[in-house]
Structure 1
Amino acid sequence: MTPAPEHGGDTAPPRRRARRFLRHNGLGLFFLTTFLLALAGQAVAGHAEFNNQLVSDGMAPLDFGAYLASSDFAVDVTENWQSEYLQFFLYIFATVWLLQRGSPESKELDRAGTESDQDQMAGRHAKEDSPRWAAAADWRGLVYSRSLGLVMGTIFLLSWLTQSVAGVAAYNEEQLRRLQAPVSWAQYLSAADFWSRSLQNWQSELLAVASMAVLSIYLRQRGSPESKPVGASDSATGVEG
């Protein structure tokens, strides 16, 4: 039996530690890597499309660095981010109270609501390894117990604000190319362009969440925690594989 290190340090060889790190963080690393690849692909394709539009308007094309710093690239990126975080924000808060019979995306049918401190291992029911703020009986416990939804909602609002600022700049650049008057930020917030960009992303994200909640009642993905066990009843609710 291998003795434990005296000071709690990790004495495994670096290669083994690296493999363990990749194994323990594979899900996050996979999606972060694919996000960066998709962002890079969007930048390359968006740069080509934007320059094609400039050339067709009789203007000089932008180099790649200038495009990355442009309002057009910023608005294209942030309009996708805000819709994703809106999806998670609504999902996190809606699933506190709303149920879907037979879905692993729902809580069990008798557990709607914020649940007791005992169920949530909060306050005086916190465990030794619980986060420090989970045991707090003051504002810290209140904030921490809702921190995931609050952070998701904050990122959504910041992304939406950034989209509106970048969007009005991109919109006014297009207006000037057409020899039309620019608009203010407040005017842009009520413009069809802003709401078209927002709503076309919102509807796709909300449809995807609804599809996941309902299709997971009847369909299975073996080994996935987003699915019920293969042999679970269609009516089993809040059960994960």
Structure 2
Amino acid sequence: MRRFVRDNALALCFLLLFLLSLAGQSAAGAAAFSEEQVAGGGSPVTWADYVTSSAFAVDVAENWQSEYLQFFLYILITVWLVQRGSPESKKRGEEGLESDAEQKVGRHAEPGSPAWAAADGWRRTVFSHSLGIAMGLLFLLSWLAQSVAGLAAYNNEQLSRLEDPVGWGGYVTSADFWNRTLQNWQSEFLAVASMVLLAIFLRERGSPQSKRVGDPHSRTSSSG
């Protein structure tokens, strides 16, 4: 068990932080939602009622889809685009999918390479893009979850104002949906751009996301 924890400490740490922040969001969200209900003449809700409500589901899903979109685009874009001096980028001249020899696929696969890396046809193609495919599917699923939960929450508000509910198509083309969506997307894109640029000039000693502290800013032999 101790070895398992040590070997998977990074993933376990972030999973724990995820669970703690989700629990904190649910508690704070339930309190805020109850305050809104009381202010509107209604009754406060329990924590259990809130975490099973569309209001909580849409708040969670809209954050998930923006995060997965960020990683999906970053994985794909960094194949083709570089940023000189950033450890978040490949070297100049290495843009593109690289050769089979560089990627160790097909006849260049090593004895310990994954089976699908050595395979021909669609299996190699799928495995070669499996990370991007997985992130893209997770984005689409979380986006769909956001749209369904957001529709339910939006229609609850519509009914409380004695207005007609809308269908799924009407909601995903509405200002409410895109306001929720784009406010998350823009923050993710800004965060990625900040990381790419700040990592050129700033350092974090010992971090694989940073160049070595003494590396010259102009050096590109170990970064983009």
TM over 0.5: yes
> Where does residue 168 of structure 2 map in the other structure?
185
Report whether the alignment pairs 1:73 with 2:60: no
2:44 aligned residue (50, 54, 61): 61
Q: 1:111-148 CA deviation, whole Å, 9 max, x = no partner?
A: 00000011011111111111111111111100000000
Report whether the alignment pairs 1:158 with 2:132: no
Q: How does 1:19-168 map to 2 (within 5 A)?
A: 19-168=2-151
| Structure whose CA Rg is larger | 1
Partner Cα separation in structure 2 for residue 83 and residue 183 of structure 1: 24
Which ranges in structure 2 are unaligned for 5 or more consecutive residues?
none
Q: How does 1:216-231 map to 2 (within 5 A)?
A: 216-231=199-214
Partner Cα separation in structure 2 for residue 75 and residue 239 of structure 1: 42
> Where does residue 10 of structure 1 map in the other structure?
none
Contact 1:106/1:237 (8 A) holds in 2: no
What code does the residue aligned with 2:120 have? A
1:172 aligned residue (152, 155, 162): 155
Partner Cα separation in structure 2 for residue 142 and residue 237 of structure 1: 30
- Superposition deviation, residue 57 in structure 1: 1.2
Which ranges in structure 1 are unaligned for 5 or more consecutive residues?
1-17
2:35 is paired with a residue whose SS is helix
Report whether the alignment pairs 1:208 with 2:183: no
- Superposition deviation, residue 238 in structure 1: 6.8
Provide TM-score, normalisation by structure 2. 0.97
Contact 1:107/1:237 (8 A) holds in 2: no
Partner Cα separation in structure 1 for residue 218 and residue 61 of structure 2: 39
Contact 1:133/1:141 (8 A) holds in 2: yes
Alpha carbons of 1:132 and 1:238: their partners in 2 closer, same or farther (altered >3 Å)?
farther
Provide TM-score, normalisation by structure 1. 0.90
Contact 1:103/1:236 (8 A) holds in 2: no
1:84 is paired with a residue whose SS is helix
1:118 is paired with a residue whose SS is helix
- Superposition deviation, residue 235 in structure 1: 2.4
Structure 1 segments of 4 or more deviating over 2 A? 235-240
RMSD, aligned CA: 1.1
Q: 1:170-201 CA deviation, whole Å, 9 max, x = no partner?
A: 01101111222211111111111100100000
The size of the alignment, in residue pairs, is 223
